[in-house]
Chain A
Amino acid sequence: MLTLEEELSSKPFEYVPIKVTSGILLHIGAGIYSSVAGAIKELVSNAFDADATRVVISTGCPEFESIQVTDNGTGMSVADFRKAMASIGTSLKRPLQSVKWTAKYNRPIIGMLGIGLMALTQICDEATIESTQEGKDTKFVAKLDFTQFRHRISQQRMAATLEILRDRAPERPLDESAEVDTETLAMLELARMAEERLAEEGIEDTEGEQLGYCVVYSNLPAVPEEHGTTITLTKLDPGVVTSLRDEGRAIDAMPQHIQSRGLTWQEFCQELRRFSWEELCERLRLRTGQLAFNALPQYHQFLWELAVMTPVEYFDRGPLLVKKDILVEKKRELERYRFSLLVDNQKLYKPILLPSGDVGKNESPEPELDYYLEPLERDDEVDGERLRYHGYVFWQRAQVEPSALRGLQIYIRDIGIGLYDQTLLNFSVINPSSRAGQMSGEIYVEEGLERALNVDRNSFRETDAHYVALQRHVFNVIGHRGEGIVGKSVDAYYKRKQRADQQAAKAHFEGLGLLVQQLSNEKLGLEVSDERSSEPCTIIGDRLLLYDKFPGWPRSSFKRQLAQRLLVAIEAAIAAKATSEEIRDLIKSILF
C-alpha cells in the first residue's frame, strides 16, 4: 500500500489558488473598532495630522442625536478627499514607511485619513464633512451616505446564514421511494428555501467593495482666513446611542450611595458632568464616593478612552505624582505640539495619576516600600529594523485605581494602541499569581513595532519580532520571584512587615516603660537591653533591665509581649511593696 506522500508524489502537481472574497473586507470594516472612542480617535488623529491646535467634539449629551468634530487644522483639498474616498485602506500601508512630520508643529504624522473615514461607517449612517484649506477662499462640503455599506453587511450576514442552512442539510436519498424522517425533510425544505433566497437576492462577491457613496459640493465660498475641518455625524447607529445613553444598563453597577438616592444613569451622568476633568480623575484615583471605572456612565468611559488614546497633554502633576521627572521629555513634546481636545466644553488631559487607591491616599508614599518605578528604554535594531521606545512600569503595594489604568499602555507615534493591556503583554497569563493589578505602565514607541499592528489598530500580532522583543524586555523588568518588579514587591512586603514589627515593638516598650513607672510609684524606670542573658530581667538601682534576647521568651510575638508585660508589672509592683492581693488584681487586669 502506498503511503500518502508516495501517493502525492506520483501525481502531477496541482495548482490551488488561495482566494479571499472581497466580502471579507466588509467584515473587517464592520469590526474594525470595538468602541465609539476608538472610531472617534481616528478623526482626532486626522486633526492632529492637520496641525490643528484645538479639536472640539460636541456629542449632544445626553440625547446623542449627532456628534460633531471640528478642528482648526490646515484643512484638506477636494483632491485629497477624493483620493482618500476612492482608496480607503491604502493608508494602512503608510505607517510602515519612515516617519513623516507635520509642517507647522513638527508632529509625527499618523497617516490614517482613509481609516478615519472608514471608522465613521461604524457609528453612523450619514456624515457631512466640511473643509477649508489654509489660505484658500473656497471650501467643500461632502455628504457621505453609508447605508449601502450597512446594507451590504447585513446582506453578507444573511448570505452566511443561508449558506449554512443549505450546506448542512443531509443528502436527499437517491431512492425517492425510500422513507425519510420528518427532521430530515424539514432540513431539506429549509435548504431548498435557502437556495432559492440566495438566488433571488443575487448575493455574490464584487470586485471591489463599495462602502457607500458621497456627494461633494466643491468651490463653495469660504469665509476669509478660516480654515479647518468639521465632521458632523448624523443618523447615529442605534447601538451607539443606546450605549452612550446607558439605556438598559443595570443600576447595580452604580456606586451604592448613588443607587440609594434613586438616580438614573442619565441623572448620574449629569451629576458627574459638573466636575472638571481633573476633579473627576482625582475622584477615580482615590475612589472618592466609591467611584470606580466600571461604575462610570458610558459617556464618561468614552471620555476616558478618548483621553488615553489621543495625543493630549498630561496634567501638570501627572502621570506620576511621586516622580516628576518621568516622561518629562514626552510631556514637553506633547506641550510643544500645542494640541488640545475639548469634548462638550471639557478639556481633556491624559487621565493618568499615580500612585492611586490606598497608596494614593497616603500623603507621602515611600519608594521601594509603597511603590517601585522602573524606567524602560531601548534603541536598537531588531529583525533588521530599528526599535526605539521609552516609558516606565510602576508598581504600588495596593491595586491601581481606577481599574482602567491597570496594565500597560502602548503608544505608537503618541497614539494609544487600544487601551491598557491588563495582561501586561501576556505576563499575567503566563504568571497567573503576578501582581498585575498593582502595575501600571506606559510605553511610547518612537520607531518600529508598527508592522505588528493588527488591522483593527488596537492590538498586536504577537509573533512579530518587534513585539516579541518588547515583550521580553517587559517580562525581564517585571521579573518573577526574587527578581525585577515582582522581586522588589516581595522585598517591599518584608520591609514593610519589618518596619511594622519595629514600630509595634517600640510602642510595646514605650507602654511597658509607662507601666513600670506607674506601678513602682516612679521609683523604677524601664531599660530594654539587647544583650543575651539567662535571666529575663533584673533590677539594677532604679532601673528595671528587660532582656529582649532572653531565650526563654515565647516565640509568638503576642505571647512574648504578654509575658514581658506580666513580668515587668510584677517586678514593678514588688518594688513598690505591693501586697499579694494587689499583685493578684494587677495580673487579672493584664490578663482579662
Chain B
Amino acid sequence: MVSKKQQREAVFERERRRQEQRALDELAAYGWDFHPTKQYVRREGWVRWIQNYVERRQAEGVNKPWTYLTLPGKNALDIGFLCQKGLLERGGEGFQKTVAICDNRWASWVEKRIGPLIASSRKSLEKVIWQQQDPLVTNFPYDVINLDFCGTLLQNEGPRERIIETIRCLEEIFELQRGCGFLLLLTTRTGDDQFGEEAEAELRKVLLHNVDEEDEFRVKYEARYGSVDLIPCLESFTEFTQIVIPKIIARIARDDFYLVVERFAAKYNRVDRNGYPYDMICHTFELKPIGRRGKNVFEPRFPQKRRKDALGDYVSTQTADRASTEYRVFIADLVQRPIINVDQCLADHPGLIEELETEAKGLANWWERLE
C-alpha cells in the first residue's frame, strides 16, 4: 500500500523532472537561436525577402510603417535582426506601431525587453486567432507574418482533428488578412515520428487529390518519381511535407484570391536532446492579391472579414478564374522546384559558418542597444 506521503513525493518527483526537461529545452532553444543554420534562414529566407517586399511597398507609395506578426521565441532575434538592418521602425519606447507577438511561453518575456507592441498574446496562435476581440486579431492585416513553429505545424496529437484545426487556423489567418498582400514565413518540424497514422493518411489524401485531379501536377509528379504511386514521395517524409504544406497554403490562397509566389524553400537537420535527428523546413511565400495593382496590393481588398463562400461576390469572374489557374500552375511546379539544403550549403562554404555565427552572436541582447 502506497502511503499518502509517497504519493505526494511521486507527484513532486514527476514535476521536478518536467521542470528540468523544460529548463533543458529552453537552454537548447536558446543555443539553437544563435546557430549558423538558423541565422542562414533568418538572413536568406526572412530578412532578404522582407527587405525586398518592404522596398517594393515603399516604391508603390505606401508610407505607413509595415507591420510584423511573429512567434518570436525567447530571444526575438528575428525582430532584433530586422532592427539591425534598419527595416523595423521603432517609435517611443517600443514597437507599438510595427510588431505584434504571440508566444504562449515568452510573450511577456519579450515584451519586457523590447517594450510595448501592437499586441502581444501569451496564448497559442491556434487559440488566440479565434478571439475576435483580442488586440492581436483586431490589428489584422499584417504585412509580414512569421510562423516560426519550433514543433510541427501539423501536430500528431489528436490526429486528424488536430491537422484540421491547424489548417483552419491558417485559413482564419488568410481571412483576417482580408485580401491584403503579405509575406508568410513558415518554419515547421517534419519527421514521421511526429505523425499518427490518421494524420499521415490525411496528408496522403491531400497529395492523392492532386495526383488524381490535376493533370499538370500528375505529369510532373510522374516525371519526378517515375510513377503516380505515392510511395516514392513518402520515402522522404521531408520531401513529402515540403510538397504538402505549400499545397495547403496554395489551396487556401486560391480560395482567398491570392497568387502564391514561393520566394524561399529550404530544409535543415536538427538533433533533439535525446540525439534523435529530425528535419526542419522553411518557406517564404509572398501572397499577392489577384487583380490588384500598385498601392492597392498592400491594402485590404475586403472592408471586413467575410465568410469564405461570400468572398466570390466581391471579385470578378476573371479574378476567380485566374485564382484557379494560378493554383494549378503553382502546385505543378512543387514537385520539381529546387529546395535549399542549408546544411549542405554551409558545409560547402565553411567561411560562411563563421560569418553567420558572428552575425548571430552580435544579436545577443539586442534590445539593450536600443535604449
Q: Which residues of A are interface residues toward B (Cβ below 8 A)?
A: 54-58, 60, 62, 68, 70-72, 139, 141, 143, 215, 217, 220-225, 228, 230, 266-267, 270, 273-274, 340, 342, 344-347
Q: Among the listed A141, A215, A223, A344, which residue makes an inter-chain contact with B30, where contact means beta carbons less than 8 Å apart?
A: A223
- Mostly helix, strand, loop or mixed at chain B's interface? helix
In Å, the complex CA distance between A514 and B39 comes to 83
B115-135 interface bits toward A, Cβ cutoff 8 Å, 1 = contact, 0 = none: 111011011000000000101
Q: Is B322 part of the binding interface, using a Cβ–Cβ cutoff of 8 Å?
A: no
Asked whether B12 lies within 8 Å of A215 as measured between CB atoms, the reply is yes
Q: Is B27 part of the binding interface, using a Cβ–Cβ cutoff of 8 Å?
A: yes
Q: Quote the shortest CB–CB distance from B69 to chain A (angstroms).
A: 14
Q: Among the listed A141, A221, A266, A345, which residue makes an inter-chain contact with B116, where contact means beta carbons less than 8 Å apart?
A: A345
In Å, the complex CA distance between A508 and B16 comes to 87
Asked whether A223 lies within 8 Å of B27 as measured between CB atoms, the reply is yes
Q: Is B111 part of the binding interface, using a Cβ–Cβ cutoff of 8 Å?
A: yes
Q: Among the listed B12, B74, B116, B365, which residue makes an inter-chain contact with A346, where contact means beta carbons less than 8 Å apart?
A: B116
Asked whether B108 lies within 8 Å of A217 as measured between CB atoms, the reply is no
Q: Which residues of B are interface residues toward A (Cβ below 8 A)?
A: 12, 15-16, 19-20, 23-24, 26-27, 30, 74, 93-94, 107-109, 111-113, 115-117, 119-120, 122-123, 133, 135, 138, 364-365
Q: Quote the shortest CB–CB distance from A136 to chain B (angstroms).
A: 13
Asked whether A58 lies within 8 Å of B107 as measured between CB atoms, the reply is yes
Q: Among the listed A72, A217, A228, A345, which residue makes an inter-chain contact with B119, where contact means beta carbons less than 8 Å apart?
A: A345
Residue of B nearest to A62 (CB): B133
Task: Sample 28 A-B pairs with CB under 8 A, ordered by A number.
Answer: A54-B112, A54-B115, A56-B109, A57-B108, A58-B122, A68-B108, A70-B109, A71-B112, A217-B15, A221-B20, A221-B24, A222-B23, A222-B27, A225-B364, A225-B365, A230-B109, A266-B133, A274-B138, A340-B93, A342-B116, A345-B111, A345-B116, A345-B117, A345-B119, A345-B120, A346-B116, A347-B115, A347-B116
In Å, the complex CA distance between A146 and B111 comes to 29
Top 7 A-B pairs ranked by shortest CB distance? A220-B23, A56-B112, A270-B133, A70-B108, A56-B108, A223-B30, A217-B19
Residue of B nearest to A220 (CB): B23
Asked whether A217 lies within 8 Å of B16 as measured between CB atoms, the reply is yes
Contacts A68-B122, A345-B117, A345-B120 known; A220 to B108 CB distance under 8 Å? no
Contacts of A266 in B (CB 8 A): 133
In Å, the complex CA distance between A56 and B115 comes to 9
Asked whether B93 lies within 8 Å of A347 as measured between CB atoms, the reply is yes
In Å, the complex CA distance between A143 and B14 comes to 13
In Å, the complex CA distance between A141 and B26 comes to 14
User: 11 additional contacts, CB 8 Å, given A139-B23, A220-B20, A221-B23?
Assistant: A54-B113, A57-B108, A141-B19, A217-B16, A221-B20, A228-B112, A270-B138, A274-B138, A345-B116, A345-B135, A347-B93
Q: Quote the shortest CB–CB distance from B366 to chain A (angstroms).
A: 12
In Å, the complex CA distance between A502 and B112 comes to 58
Residue of A nearest to B94 (CB): A347
Contacts A70-B108, A215-B15 known; A267 to B133 CB distance under 8 Å? yes
In Å, the complex CA distance between A24 and B93 comes to 47
Residue of A nearest to B16 (CB): A217
Q: Quote the shortest CB–CB distance from B14 to chain A (angstroms).
A: 11
Asked whether A60 lies within 8 Å of B15 as measured between CB atoms, the reply is no
Contacts A223-B27, A223-B74 known; A342 to B19 CB distance under 8 Å? no
In Å, the complex CA distance between A203 and B113 comes to 49
Contacts of B138 in A (CB 8 A): 270, 274
Residue of B nearest to A215 (CB): B12
In Å, the complex CA distance between A72 and B371 comes to 15
Asked whether B111 lies within 8 Å of A56 as measured between CB atoms, the reply is yes
Q: Quote the shortest CB–CB distance from B128 to chain A (angstroms).
A: 10
Q: Quote the shortest CB–CB distance from B290 to chain A (angstroms).
A: 32
Contacts of A345 in B (CB 8 A): 111, 116-117, 119-120, 135
Contacts of B109 in A (CB 8 A): 56, 70, 230
Asked whether B365 lies within 8 Å of A55 as measured between CB atoms, the reply is no
Q: Quote the shortest CB–CB distance from A182 to chain B (angstroms).
A: 47
Residue of B nearest to A69 (CB): B108
Contacts of B112 in A (CB 8 A): 54-56, 70-72, 228, 342
Q: Quote the shortest CB–CB distance from B95 to chain A (angstroms).
A: 10
Residue of A54, A225, A228 with most partner-chain B CB within 10 A: A54
Residue of B nearest to A223 (CB): B30
In Å, the complex CA distance between A342 and B117 comes to 10
Contacts of B120 in A (CB 8 A): 58, 344-345
Contacts of B27 in A (CB 8 A): 221-223
Residue of B nearest to A273 (CB): B135
Q: Quote the shortest CB–CB distance from A353 to chain B (angstroms).
A: 18
Contacts of B119 in A (CB 8 A): 345
Contacts of A141 in B (CB 8 A): 19
In Å, the complex CA distance between A346 and B92 comes to 13
Contacts of B123 in A (CB 8 A): 60
Q: Quote the shortest CB–CB distance from B313 to chain A (angstroms).
A: 28
In Å, the complex CA distance between A505 and B32 comes to 82
Q: Quote the shortest CB–CB distance from B370 to chain A (angstroms).
A: 12
In Å, the complex CA distance between A225 and B34 comes to 14
Residue of A nearest to B74 (CB): A223
Asked whether A223 lies within 8 Å of B116 as measured between CB atoms, the reply is no
Q: Quote the shortest CB–CB distance from A73 to chain B (angstroms).
A: 10
In Å, the complex CA distance between A203 and B133 comes to 48
In Å, the complex CA distance between A346 and B113 comes to 14
Residue of B19, B20, B30, B112 with most partner-chain A CB within 10 A: B112
In Å, the complex CA distance between A342 and B116 comes to 7
Q: Quote the shortest CB–CB distance from A316 to chain B (angstroms).
A: 12
Q: Quote the shortest CB–CB distance from A13 to chain B (angstroms).
A: 50
Contacts of A274 in B (CB 8 A): 135, 138
Residue of A nearest to B93 (CB): A347
In Å, the complex CA distance between A222 and B19 comes to 11
In Å, the complex CA distance between A215 and B14 comes to 12
In Å, the complex CA distance between A217 and B12 comes to 9
Residue of A nearest to B120 (CB): A345
Contacts of A228 in B (CB 8 A): 112
In Å, the complex CA distance between A54 and B114 comes to 10
Q: Quote the shortest CB–CB distance from A317 to chain B (angstroms).
A: 15
Q: Quote the shortest CB–CB distance from A145 to chain B (angstroms).
A: 11
Contacts A68-B122, A223-B30, A347-B116 known; A58 to B23 CB distance under 8 Å? no
Residue of A nearest to B119 (CB): A345
In Å, the complex CA distance between A267 and B138 comes to 13
Q: Quote the shortest CB–CB distance from A131 to chain B (angstroms).
A: 13
Contacts of A224 in B (CB 8 A): 30
Q: Quote the shortest CB–CB distance from A313 to chain B (angstroms).
A: 11
Contacts of A54 in B (CB 8 A): 112-113, 115
Q: Quote the shortest CB–CB distance from A542 to chain B (angstroms).
A: 66
Contacts of B24 in A (CB 8 A): 221
In Å, the complex CA distance between A139 and B107 comes to 20
In Å, the complex CA distance between A224 and B34 comes to 13
Contacts of A71 in B (CB 8 A): 112
Q: Quote the shortest CB–CB distance from B367 to chain A (angstroms).
A: 10
Q: Quote the shortest CB–CB distance from B362 to chain A (angstroms).
A: 14
Q: Quote the shortest CB–CB distance from A337 to chain B (angstroms).
A: 14
In Å, the complex CA distance between A161 and B40 comes to 70
Residue of A71, A270, A274, A342 with most partner-chain B CB within 10 A: A342
Residue of B nearest to A345 (CB): B120
In Å, the complex CA distance between A142 and B12 comes to 11
In Å, the complex CA distance between A220 and B117 comes to 31
Contacts of A230 in B (CB 8 A): 108-109
Contacts of A273 in B (CB 8 A): 135
Q: Quote the shortest CB–CB distance from A572 to chain B (angstroms).
A: 65
Contacts of B122 in A (CB 8 A): 58, 60, 68
Q: Quote the shortest CB–CB distance from B113 to chain A (angstroms).
A: 7
In Å, the complex CA distance between A342 and B94 comes to 11
Q: Quote the shortest CB–CB distance from B368 to chain A (angstroms).
A: 10
Q: Quote the shortest CB–CB distance from B133 to chain A (angstroms).
A: 4
In Å, the complex CA distance between A266 and B111 comes to 25
Contacts of B30 in A (CB 8 A): 223-224
In Å, the complex CA distance between A495 and B201 comes to 87
Asked whether B16 lies within 8 Å of A342 as measured between CB atoms, the reply is no
